Amino acid sequence: MNVWLSRGYRWMRRPRSRGQAMAEFTILLMAFMFGVGAITTFAPEMFAALTIYIRGFYCVLGYPFG
């Protein structure tokens, strides 16, 4: 097994107090919620930009829109 993987695995399996485990869980949950919020906020704009890019590609190739 890789040294970095085993080191990370040992870090994850280390004993924790209840407060430390709850603090780590809270930080991870906040990061997850922030990521979900960022994706749901910016995904429509990213999809629109991708659509514009693809339409421009087809326009350059001479395909009709629609």
- Confirm whether pTM is higher than 0.75: no
Is residue 41 included in any domain, yes or no?
yes
Q: How many domains does one find in the chain? A: 1
**Which residues of the chain fall below pLDDT 70?**
1-4, 66
pLDDT at res. 22: 94
Terminal Cα-to-Cα distance of the chain (whole angstroms): 53
Give the chain's radius of gyration (CA, Å): 22
8 Å CB contact between 32 and 42: no
Is residue 66 included in any domain, yes or no?
no
In the chain, the largest separation of any two C-alpha atoms, in whole Å, equals: 65
pLDDT at res. 26: 96
**Rounded Cα distance, 56 and 61, in Å:** 9
Structural domain for 31, as ranges: 3-61
pLDDT at res. 64: 78
Is residue 26 included in any domain, yes or no?
yes
8 Å CB contact between 55 and 65: yes
Is residue 53 included in any domain, yes or no?
yes
pLDDT at res. 11: 78
pLDDT at res. 3: 66
